[in-house]
Structure 1
Amino acid sequence: MSYCTVRGIRIYYEMEGQGDPVILLHGACQDTLSWRFNIKPLAEKFQVYAIDLPGHGKSALLPEGPVDNLEAYADFVIDFIDTLQIKNPIIVGHSMSGGIGMYIALKRPENTRLVVPVDGAAFTNGTYGAELFSNVAINTPDWMEINFRTICSKNTSPERVNEIAFDVQRCAPKVAYNDIYAYGNFSLRDRVADLQVPIFFIHGEDDWSITPEMARETQKMLKCRSEFRLLAGNGHFPHTENPDSFNKAFLELMELL
């Protein structure tokens, strides 16, 4: 459990293990706790970093307020990587952070070994219209909790679903809203073919928010090396819903590098 200073603000991160560096980036409205079932198992093989993005968890907000686009998040993570002098990391990004990881790879291909989108794609599903943003703004915490519950698999234990739903309640409403806005306005369709860094997808079979088909479509756009692992019985949060199967899939994919 550590802090560093990036752009003048305190950023919380966890680091464990030895070996090649892996950076875990949480999804919208979450923080490093979303990786609590993954850090130690992955740290048996890698040096694992998990970061609270600005305004999330124990990290401070930027002076200009919550971040409202994924490219800006990517620029901040690059600054974090430079601050800690992390060399050639594997970027693992859940949901919106899959997009952040792809931006990082586009901007820093010489210092990015691999991107692993976890239930991520190069675009959203088109449901992020004005009506949705209006509903989110009315009662952001309740909307987020309900939404997070529905995008888990029906096979996921109620206890684990509750943990995921409670996680989102820690996020400040303004930060949560800006995360949803950022992801809703995200698309890399016109830049995916420029990616040079390998992209290895891990995806929950039952995710209806960012569907496996969306990740497959992203994979087809790529000219770089790619792999795909579909995890049955998992929704949008496979690393939390069924961490054993996620950790196994991740470590197996790393054997292919």
Structure 2
Amino acid sequence: MPYLIVNNTRIYYEEFSNEGPTLLLIHGAAQDTLSWRFNTIFLVELGFHVIAIDLPGHGKSQLAPSGPIDNLEDYAFYTEKFMDTLNIKNYSVMGHSMAGGIGLYMALHKPESISMLVIVDGAAYTSGTYGEDVFELVSINPTDWFEVNFRTICSPTTDIARVEEIAFDVRRCSPEVAFNDIRAYAALDLRDKMKEIKVPLIAIHGEDDWSIPSEIGKKTVEMSSGNFHFELLKNVGHFPHTESPELFNQAFKRVLEKIPVKL
């Protein structure tokens, strides 16, 4: 099991293949590398060198020395340093949910390094769904809140066993880390920075996701200055890569054929 020390923090990651252009997978709030368990082999078969990371305090990664991270830009700095430590100069990023915001920060910080950014049910800003009244509820028991929330943001058509599998993932995350994740994502607003993003930008979004409505995901890529593509998946909620992995995988393959990307 590979680890790297990044900013005095032991970071866990998984690597699949060592050939082809590098694609970095970044999980969403209160999750870890396992959230990509239905996608990694397919992505390798597409020709990618795939790396999936556990963000600080998630999965098997150590908590940052300062404690749980409470803003997405700090997550981006950690992730950039992680890739620098691996000595990988050029790579693409696929980020789910809050990690879409992390990827946007990375594209702003290091545009020369990012070949392509794929945002899965993420956006440059939030819909205002998660405000102070919600934070008060979350703070009582973050794990229980996330479990319930994850069930509701899946599509009603998603197999119930898969929904429960997604909800159970939360139990691997510290309640304090989960709480800080939701606060970090709720504070995201990069609308005034989107014109600075020139890397190819792909958004894949579940139509049934009410927490980050598809309209926001679409507007996010339209605000960028580079090539972009928006792909809407029907009968899928907030976790398309897990709820319906075959649909998601094939959609990503199609999009790669449509958008000019120099990997």
2:4 paired with 1:10? no
What's the offset of the Cα at 1:86? 1.5
* Counterpart for residue 168 of structure 2: 166
Aligned length: 257
Inter-partner Cα distance in structure 2 for 1:19 and 1:207:
33
Matches within 5 A, 1:80-91: 80-91=82-93
* Counterpart for residue 53 of structure 1: 55
* Counterpart for residue 222 of structure 2: 220
Deviations 1:173-200 (A, max 9, x none): 0000000000011110110111111111
Conserved 8 A contact 2:8-2:65: no
* Counterpart for residue 238 of structure 2: 236
TM-score, normalised to structure 1's length?
Answer: 0.98
Using the aligned pairs only, state the percent identity. Answer: 56
* Counterpart for residue 36 of structure 1: 37
Inter-partner Cα distance in structure 1 for 2:153 and 2:143:
16
Deviations 1:199-235 (A, max 9, x none): 1111111111111101112122222110111111110
Alignment RMSD (CA, Å): 0.9
Quick one: which of 112, 115, 133 aligns to 1:113?
Answer: 115
Inter-partner Cα distance in structure 1 for 2:5 and 2:152:
36
Inter-partner Cα distance in structure 2 for 1:164 and 1:85:
33
Inter-partner Cα distance in structure 2 for 1:119 and 1:92:
11
SS in 2 for 1:228: strand
Runs of 4+ in 1 over 4 A off after TM superposition: none
What's the offset of the Cα at 1:20? 0.5
> Structure 2, unaligned stretches of length 5 or more?
none
Identify the range of structure 1 (1-10 vs 66-75) with the bigger mean alpha-carbon deviation. 1-10
Inter-partner Cα distance in structure 2 for 1:188 and 1:11:
27
What's the offset of the Cα at 1:85? 1.1
> Structure 1, unaligned stretches of length 5 or more?
none
What's the offset of the Cα at 1:158? 0.5
Inter-partner Cα distance in structure 1 for 2:120 and 2:2:
25
What's the offset of the Cα at 1:87? 2.6
TM-score, normalised to structure 2's length?
Answer: 0.96
Inter-partner Cα distance in structure 2 for 1:253 and 1:86:
25
* Counterpart for residue 206 of structure 2: 204
Quick one: which of 241, 251, 260 aligns to 1:249?
Answer: 251
* Counterpart for residue 78 of structure 1: 80
Inter-partner Cα distance in structure 1 for 2:121 and 2:203:
8
SS in 1 for 2:112: helix
Q: Which amino acid aligns with 2:35?
A: S
Inter-partner Cα distance in structure 1 for 2:103 and 2:220:
14
SS in 1 for 2:12: strand
Identify the range of structure 1 (221-230 vs 48-57) with the bigger mean alpha-carbon deviation. 221-230
What's the offset of the Cα at 1:43? 1.1
* Counterpart for residue 28 of structure 2: 27
Conserved 8 A contact 2:119-2:204: yes
Q: Which amino acid aligns with 1:82?
A: D
SS in 1 for 2:50: strand
Inter-partner Cα distance in structure 2 for 1:129 and 1:50:
30
Inter-partner Cα distance in structure 2 for 1:66 and 1:186:
17
Identify the range of structure 1 (169-178 vs 123-132) with the bigger mean alpha-carbon deviation. 123-132
What's the offset of the Cα at 1:123? 0.3
Matches within 5 A, 1:63-212: 63-212=65-214
Inter-partner Cα distance in structure 2 for 1:22 and 1:254:
13
